[in-house]
Amino acid sequence: MPGWSRRYCRTPSRHFVFDFPARIKQTSYVAEIRLNSPLQYIKGVGPKKAATLSRHGLNDVRDLLLYLPRQYLDRTNVVPIGQLKVDQSATIIGEVKAHGTLYGKRRRYEVLLDDGTGAIALVWFQGVRYWERLFKKGQKFAATGTVTSFMGAQMIHPDLERLEDDSDRMIHAGRIIPVYPQTAELNKAGLNSKGIRRLTTFIFENLSEKLTDYLPGKESQKQGLASLHEAIEHIHYPENREQVETGRRRLAFDELLSFQFLVQRSKSQKEETKKKHRYDKPGEKLTRVKEGLGFDLTSGQKRAVREIFADLQLSRPMSRMLQGDVGCGKTVVAVLAALYVAENNLQAAFMAPTEILAEQHFRNWKDRLAEVGVACGLLTSSLKAADKKRIAAQCADGEIDILFGTHALIYDYVSFMNLGLVIIDEQHRFGVEQRGKLYAKGDNPDLLVMTATPIPRTLALTLYGDLNISTIDTLPPGRKPIRTVWRTDDIRAKVYEFIVEEITKGGQAYVIYPLIEKSEQVELENVEDAFRELSATAFAGYRVGMVHGRVKAAERDEILRRFRDGELDILMATTVIEVGIDNPRATVMVIEHAERFGLAQLHQLRGRIGRGEKQATLVAVAHNPISDIGRQRLNYFTSTTDGFKISEADLELRGPGEIFGVRQSGLPELRAANLSRDRDLIEASHELLVRLFSRQYGLDTEYQKLYNYLDNAASARTLYTGGG
C-alpha cells in the first residue's frame, strides 16, 4: 500500500510479513536472542546504532560477545566518602556539587563530588579544556582511584563513569567493570563502554543458546581451560579477578592456536614450493667487494652471510629474517646478498621505509658495486615522472641489477626482467598488501626481511615460525656505548646548556617530542611550539631544523639531508626520525615526555646517535606525574643498551602488537594472549598443532572438527610474515 513499508520477522519455523505505516517509528525487537541475531533488532540498538556497530565489524550477537574488553576497573570496593582514608584505593559514588579550573603553581581542573557522608575533590592536571565541557552540577559519577591529601581529600586523575539512574549503579559500579575499545564514532552514538555493557547485560539475560566450542573437551581438561561460553561470560561479567583470568586464558589459548596454525600452514606451503632460478658458488665480484669494504665483517655478519647464501642455494625460495640491534651492520649483509643475486644474472629489489634511507643505501653502494659491473638504481615517489619512467624501463629491460627504493617499488608501472631476491628493510613498517605486491613481481623469488628490533625467542617461534632467522649479535669494533640518563623536566635548562656545549665541540643534537602541535586532550610538549620558542631563546644563533609527519616528504628529506651533511646543528623532530638517518656527527639526543614512549621505541631512537667514534649521550626527560610503570620503563632503558634485553622487557610491559607490528603482519591481532606471560599456553597450543598436522588425514571427529575450524578461519586471512 502507498505510504506503508514492509518488514520481515523470522522465527525458527516460519516467516511472517508485517505491514507498518511508514510514518510510525518501528521499534520491534527479536523475541528470542540467538547468536546470529542481527544487532539492529536487539533492544537499545536500532538502525542507526546498528550501522555504527557494523562499521566496527559488529553485525550480530556473536560479534558483540567476541568484542573483548581492553581493561577492567575494580569497583567492588565502593566506600562512603566520609570513611575514606589516605592511600586507600576505592570507588566512590557521588553528585557533582561544584567544578572549575583552578590556578596556582600548576593549572588544574577540580570537581567536588559529594555523597551525603562527605565530599572529595577529583583533580586533573591534563586535558583541562576537555573536562570543562564534561561536567555539570547535579550529575552523578562513579570514580575509582587512590585517595591523597592536599588541603583535604582528593583523587588525582581517577577513572570515571557517569551514572544516570539506579540501574546504572548495578551495571557500572560495585563490581569488576569491563572497559571496551572506543572510537569517537562509538562514543557519539552512545556506544561507549557503558552503552556496550547495557547491551551485553541484556543479551546474556535473554540469550537462548551457547557459543559452539570447537576445542575437544579432553584438551580443555588437559590444560585446565574453561569452556568457550563460560570464558566469554567471565570476560564480560566477572564476579572477581580470578574469573577474568580464567576467561582470558581460554581465549588466549584459542588466539595462540589460530595464530600458530596460520604460521604452520604457511610454512608447509613454502616448503612445497619450488623456485626456477639457481645459484652458483660465490664468485669474484663478491670477493672484490668484500676486500674493498675497508673493514672486516664481524663474526655475527659472517655467520649471517653464510646462512643466507646457503638458503639461497636451496631449491625452495628463501624466507629468512635478518635481525640485529641498531648499528650492527645488517645493511652490509643484505647488500652482499643482493650482489650474490646479481652475480647469478638475477635482479634484487631493496625496499626501505623512507626516502632518505633508500637514498642513503643507494648513495653508499652504487659506486662500489659499479666497480664490479653491478648496476644500481633508485626509485622513490619524489622523483620526476620522466626519471621514474626511465628507471622503470631500465629495470624491465634488465639493465638495473639492484633497485633501491621505497613503496614506489610496488607500483604497477614497475616490473623486473628476472627478480630473484626481495629485501624489505624494517619490514614491520610495511603493510601486508605492500609486501605482497613487491613479492608478486617475481616468480617465487627469495625473500629477506630485516628488523632492527631484536625479537625475543618466544615471539620469534610464534610470530615468525615460517621464517628462518639470522641474528647479528655483535657490533662493529670502536663503537662506544651510548651514555643514557633520565631526568625530570625541572632541569631542562641544564639540558639545553649541555646541548650547546656539545655543538661547540663539533657535535649535533636531536630533540624529540611526542606531538606535532598543541592538543586540547593532553598537555604534552609539542615540536612546533618548542621550535618557535627555542630557536629564539636557548638555541638562538645556532642552525635549527624541524621535521614531523606533516612536513611534505621532499621538504622533510631535504631537512634530514642538511642535518646529515652538517648544515644544521640541532634537529627538532617527532619520531619520524626513528628509522632512516645515519649521521656519525650526532652525539646528543633529548627525548621530551620519555615516560610516554615504549622501551623498544626509545631504543630505536637511541640508535640514531653514537654511530661515530665520539661519546654520545641520550637524556630522557620525564614529566610528572610519572606512573610506576613509566619509572620502571625509564630505569630499565637507562640500565642497558642491549636490544634483546630491551625487547624482552618491552614484551612483558606492553605485548607484541605495538612493538613488532603484529597488525601489519597479516596475523590475527592478539587481544587476550600475552606472549611473555602465556608461555605455557604457547607450548601447549604448538604441541596440539603438531599433532593435528602430523595426523591431518587420520583425525577422529572432534579433532577433525577443530582442524576444519582453524583451516576455514585461516583461509579468511592473508598471512604475510614472509613471502606470498
Examine the pLDDT at 679 and tell me if it is beyond 90. no
Dihedral sign of CA atoms 382, 387, 393, 394 in order: negative
CA 549/CA 588 separation, integer angstroms: 22
Please provide the average confidence, as pLDDT, over all residues in the chain. Answer: 84
Give the pairing of strands 446-451 and 419-424: parallel
Domain limits, the chain: 1-70+183-209, 73-179, 483-640
Q: Answer whether 404's CB lies under 8 Å from 688's CB.
A: no
In which band, very low, low, confident or very high, does the pLDDT at 334 lie, cut at 50, 70 and 90?
very high
Domain range 73-179, its CATH number among 3.30.365.10, 2.40.50.140, 1.10.287.180, 3.40.630.30:
2.40.50.140
Report the topology of domain 483-640: Rossmann fold (3.40.50)
Q: What own/partner pairs with CB < 8 Å and gap ≥ 24 does 230-236 have?
A: 232/65, 232/66, 233/204, 235/68, 235/69, 235/178, 236/65, 236/69, 236/178, 236/200, 236/204
Q: What is the pLDDT of residue 493?
A: 92
- Which CATH number is 1-70+183-209 given? 1.10.150
In sequence order, which residues have a C-beta less than 8 Å from that of residue 331 and are 6 or more positions away?
Answer: 361, 364, 425, 450
Examine the pLDDT at 667 and tell me if it is beyond 80. no
Q: Which of 7-16, 179-188, 419-428, 535-544 comes out lowest in average pLDDT?
A: 7-16
In which band, very low, low, confident or very high, does the pLDDT at 332 lie, cut at 50, 70 and 90?
very high
Q: Report in angstroms the alpha-carbon separations of 435 from 381, 438, 466, 658.
A: 17, 5, 16, 19
Q: Answer whether 618's CB lies under 8 Å from 465's CB.
A: no
Residues facing 76 on adjacent strands: none
CA 524/CA 125 separation, integer angstroms: 11
In which band, very low, low, confident or very high, does the pLDDT at 531 lie, cut at 50, 70 and 90?
very high
The arithmetic mean of pLDDT across residues 530-557, rounded, is 90
Helix (H) or strand (E) holding 7: strand 4-10
CA 352/CA 346 separation, integer angstroms: 20
**How wide is the angle at C-alpha 498 spanned by C-alphas 492 and 501, nearest 5°?**
150
Q: Is 721 helix (H, G, I), strand (E, B) or coil?
A: coil
Q: What is the pLDDT of residue 721?
A: 38
Radius of gyration (Cα) for the chain, nearest Å? 29
pLDDT tens for 74-111 read: 777 788 899 888 888 888 889 999 998 888 777 889 99
CA 457/CA 684 separation, integer angstroms: 16
The arithmetic mean of pLDDT across residues 162-177, rounded, is 61
Residue in the block written with cell 579544556: 129
In sequence order, which residues have a C-beta less than 8 Å from that of residue 251 and are 6 or more positions away?
Answer: 68, 231, 232, 235, 671, 672, 673
Please state the pTM of the whole predicted model: 0.66
Q: What is the pLDDT of residue 38?
A: 92
Examine the pLDDT at 551 and tell me if it is beyond 60. yes
CA 360/CA 348 separation, integer angstroms: 17
Q: What is the pLDDT of residue 718?
A: 47
**% residues pLDDT > 90 (the chain):** 41
The arithmetic mean of pLDDT across residues 670-695, rounded, is 84
The arithmetic mean of pLDDT across residues 603-626, rounded, is 89
User: E strands within 27-82?
Assistant: 71-74
